[in-house]
Chains A and B, each alone.
Chain A
Amino acid sequence: QEVTMRIHQFLPAQAPIPAQAIAPWAERVTEESDGRIVFELYPAMQLGGTPPSLFDQAQDGVVDIVWTVLGYTPGRFPKSEVFELPFMLTNGEETSRAFHNYVTEHAMDEFSGVHLIAAHTHGPGLFHTADPITSLEDLQGMRIRGGSRIISNMLAQLGAEPIGMPVPETTEALSRGVIEGTTIPWEVTPSLRISELVTNHTGFSGDYGLYTQTFGFVMNRATYESLPDDLRAVIDANSGIEVARAFGRVMDEGDIAGLEIARELGNSIVELDEEETARWREAAQPTIDQWLQDMESIGLDGEALYAAAQAALNAEIGQ
């Protein structure tokens, strides 16, 4: 054994990404390095700190590798944030490839402190609510939890009452009626027992989903650079778009499993038709305009980034 690397992340070890994406990735690297790179996996923030501190933990060398939600540190990844905008995704696999490509071409400066293994997203986030949503009108005044700044903005602009709260509080708040619904992808619903708590799920028709969140799987730069050439080659071979695709695929498989649970429970699963979806897209446009303005205020060309992100996504659709 030459190198031991610590991987730190915020979910329990048995959650889809840790179990089906990170652990297999680590096994493959160990195998391809003939056992010279080994990993210690630390799930559920075992090494301390809060989830928002994960990216810094990789950058500063507290640990060697982290997997984290980029939106946990609002303001830090403005260029990457474009993929959080409404209707800016298809499924997990395509969007993850698009996002990884986009990041490597347009947002690498946001990752300059680390070695980027992969950037990816989850599948389409949708509504899980106590009362059914069949049209934009149904959403008006509903208390809905949103997970990030942009999603909360979007909920407000769509006419809902966004309630910001940490993920672990969601289950309790939903079961007690503090919130009437939440926006998350199917993949997260089993662990939060969402489908047992609410009976209505509302998604959209067409190629594009409502929203996604962005993730980074990154390595400490010094750890990466201190590797001997042959070992660095192993890491390089296991970095990039194929890793992003694998992570995105695990998200899609998780979505299928979550959807299946809701089906078995006999919940009502609604896909809004194209006409209705178009109304929502229109209603969500101010969120995008707001983001463009925000980019302008910090000196970034939001229009160009938005166009680049759309181009990256469209290039992957159906691939």
Chain B
Amino acid sequence: MFEERSLLTRVVSTLAKAMAIAGGLTLVAIVVLVVVSVTGRALLWAGLRPITGDYELVSAGIGFAVFAFLPWTHLNRGHAVVTIFTDNFSPKANSILLFLADLAMLAASSFIAWRLYFGMLDKFAYRETTLLLRMPLGWSYAACMVGASIFVIVALFVFARTVEDIIKGNPPRLGQGAGH
């Protein structure tokens, strides 16, 4: 079910990738927005204007982008881990640790998405908006819910794949870990 070419793997991977690309495009949109706004601010004398509410648009965009990036990063084991000690452990011990870590990530992603959902309901209920543009904050939360939900799906997939690996006796899929 979790083989490289299986339908499920392809669907989950495509979802995560599409989300990450959407986040990347959002960053590009932010870049364009900021360049236009800064130009407008610099050329006030020529009758141009900065974009009203650029700060809140940038914030909302980054929020969406980060949520959109989470699924891809977890699917590809891009989160920072320390492997120096576990490198000396047996594959079996590593499998068990991976099982626990993937379960924890599933729990964390579900918790984050679940709470975000209630946060979204609050923002809609209280009709909270941004400062200048008066964009309803609920919609910003709703956009982030997309990334958060796919994060849960990916975490579930990764966890189930680890369980299957253990049952089948496959070596643990440790990935590279990351730094910067």
Contact = CB atoms under 8 A, between A and B. Distances in A.
Interface of A: 52, 56, 73-76, 141, 143, 148-149, 152, 161-166, 178, 298
Given A149-B134, A161-B49, A164-B56, A73 B44 contact: no
B127 A164 contact: no
B47 to A, nearest CB: 10
A5 to B, nearest CB: 23
A149 B122 contact: no
B81 interface: no
Interface of B: 41, 44, 49-50, 52-56, 122, 126-132, 134, 136
Contact of A73 (B41, B49, B126): B126
Contacts of B54: 164
Given A164-B55, A164-B132, A143 B127 contact: no
A149 B126 contact: no
Contact of A56 (B49, B122, B129): B122
Given A73-B128, A76-B126, A162-B52, 16 more contacts: A52-B128, A74-B128, A74-B129, A74-B130, A75-B127, A75-B128, A75-B129, A75-B136, A76-B127, A149-B131, A149-B132, A149-B134, A152-B132, A164-B56, A166-B55, A298-B127
Contacts of B55: 164-166
26 contacts: A56-B122, A74-B128, A74-B130, A74-B131, A74-B134, A75-B126, A75-B127, A75-B128, A75-B134, A76-B126, A76-B127, A76-B128, A141-B44, A143-B44, A149-B134, A161-B44, A162-B52, A163-B41, A163-B50, A164-B52, A164-B53, A164-B131, A164-B132, A166-B55, A178-B41, A298-B127
Residue with the greatest number of chain A CB neighbours at <10 A, chosen from B55, B122, B127, B128: B128
A212 B77 CA distance: 51
Closest 7 CB pairs of A and B: A75-B129, A75-B127, A76-B126, A164-B132, A74-B129, A75-B128, A73-B128
Contact of B131 (A56, A76, A148, A163): A148
Contacts of A152: 131-132
